Amino acid sequence: SQKIEQNSEALNIQEGKTATLTCNYTNYSPAYLQWYRQDPGRGPVFLLLIRENEKEKRKERLKVTFDTTLKQSLFHITASQPADSATYLCALDYSSASKIIFGSGTRLSIRP
Amino acid sequence: GAGVSQSPSNKVTEKGKDVELRCDPISGHTALYWYRQSLGQGLEFLIYFQGNSAPDKSGLPSDRFSAERTGGSVSTLTIQRTQQEDSAVYLCASSLSASSGSSYNEQFFGPGTRLTVL
């Protein structure tokens, strides 16, 4: 079965630095890969979607890469701020299934 | 506009009782999804609806779980004879369409229902 791995350990970053989160998956590549942000006690919020044939996607301070050879996506937050502290989830989106498979998330903490 | 709403926000029940969880999706969203999230875990897919039909029920943990959607809008998730392992946050999400590959598959989540089975 398809598996997604995100770093289960919390990531602690100094404010202003770039935070990089990793999402690895097994078996076949999804058509699309999504990233969500989740704050405590709230539902996830969609951030970015990247397609299989795209190498990189940017949105403001966010950058996502998608390497189907390595079966990996990297999520970068540049000029990180304490308000970026949250859990970030990656999700595999297979067009044939219409079911999105979520990773367990990585908790990011930005210290002032 | 209004987002996805869920009720109740918290539910405490005794083992063996039935519970109903409600989800009101964003108006006009044809796809609706139910997930379960245990403490510190990722989202576990339960079921999704396209309109009133459920093409994929593969995630339902047992036959104690069922869900329905009426009028292409509100959905209820019912758990019969609740067990302690059912304790979790149940999240509902909706999207414009279940067809992947476009921004329409962006999912909008509700705040969740925290279920505690004593």
Cα-trace Rg, chain A: 13
Q: Residues 6 or more apart from A20 whose CB is under 8 A from it?
A: A74, A75, A76
Distance from CA of B97 to the nearest CA of A (A): 9
Please give the torsion angle defined by the CA atoms of residues A86, B44, B91 and B110, in that order, rounded to the nearest 10 degrees. 50
pLDDT 10s digits, B23-71: 999 998 988 999 999 987 788 989 989 889 887 788 899 999 999 998 8
Q: What is the DSSP letter of A61?
A: T
Q: Is residue B95 within 8 Å of residue B104, measured between CB atoms?
A: yes
Report d(CA B44, CA A36) in Å as an integer. 15
- Residue found by looking up tokens 């989800």 in the block: B23
**Which amino acid does the sequence have at B81?**
R
pLDDT 10s digits, B58-101: 889 999 999 999 888 999 999 999 999 999 999 999 988 765 55
Across the interface, which of B43, B58, B103 has its CB nearest the CB of A102? B43
| Angle made by CA atoms A31, A98, B98, in degrees to the nearest 5 | 110
Contacts of A101 in chain B (CB under 8 A): 45
- Residue ranges of chain A whose CB lies within 8 Å of a chain B CB: 4, 6, 31-32, 34, 41-46, 49, 51, 89, 93-95, 97-105
